[in-house]
Amino acid sequence: MTVEAGMTAKVESKQLKPVLSIAEGTNFSVFGFGLVSVFTFALLICSSVLLVGCNEQQSSATTQRVSMPPEARKAELLNLLERKFENPDAHFQLAQFYHNEGLWTKAEYHYNVALGFDPAHAEAKAAMVKLFLDSDDKAKSRTYADIYMNQASNSAIQSLRLAVAFHKEQLDEYALDSYQQAFSLAPDSAKVNKEFGLYYLDKEDKVLAKEYLIRSFNLDGNQPDVAKELGRLGVEVEIPGFEEKVAEKSSEINEL
């Protein structure tokens, strides 16, 4: 039964150098030990080369998958689900294809299956809300958004993930509500303040972006990416340990 039918139910190889030199008249037991050692070492080298070869093949397969035509990728996902139906990410990716094609029923089905196997899949939740909006069912879109935000109402992490997912889908109203929910649950979280600040930065609200990014940096000064954004906003910050590192480098240069 197909998945769709189920919808209704180098490293360079190095030359081995001799590990032991065998002199004339070497005792047989020592000679035997040398052979075992060399053989074991050679076996390890061969295993390493084979392992790297496998990794190169996997990397090549990943590159091919990224550049794969949509229809070929859809076929691959369907085959993947034939082998392992309980794969939330495969269902989510397949739903995305159907969503983009305007096949609302198929997309909704696969989003639901993804959430059935992974109830915390924030990207699938945000995509489901967007699906109803795209299919011109605003009431259902709002209802599902409220349900998902309510499910995350006791967790700052889940609220933040949902906010980021809504933001990615350009569902600004729901993204803002979820960011505010995350902030109310964990106002002293550097991560929450950072993501909230980046949201406002994306919305070109530099005042609020600066406010939340400063809060984030004050809570955790070891955030070079936040320091960089604050620098762009005209805020001078000091990265802990940075001056000491500069002094060490200067000392090294002077000693040369």
pLDDT over 50 (residue 12): no
Single-letter residue type at 3:
V
Q: How much is the pTM?
A: 0.67
Q: How far apart are CA 81 and CA 226, in angstroms?
A: 40
Report pLDDT digits (tens) over 76-132.
999 999 999 999 999 999 999 999 999 999 999 999 999 999 999 999 999 999 999
| 220 alpha carbon, distance to own chain's centre | 22
Q: Which tokens is 39 given?
A: 């053989």
Q: Which CATH code, of 1.10.3470, 1.25.40, 2.70.98, 3.90.320, is assigned to 187-256? A: 1.25.40
The answer to whether the beta carbons of residues 111 and 131 sit under 8 Å apart is yes
Choice among 46-55, 196-205, 212-221 with the minimum mean pLDDT:
46-55
pLDDT over 60 (residue 179): yes
Q: Where does CATH 1.25.40 sit in the chain? A: 187-256
| 88 alpha carbon, distance to own chain's centre | 15
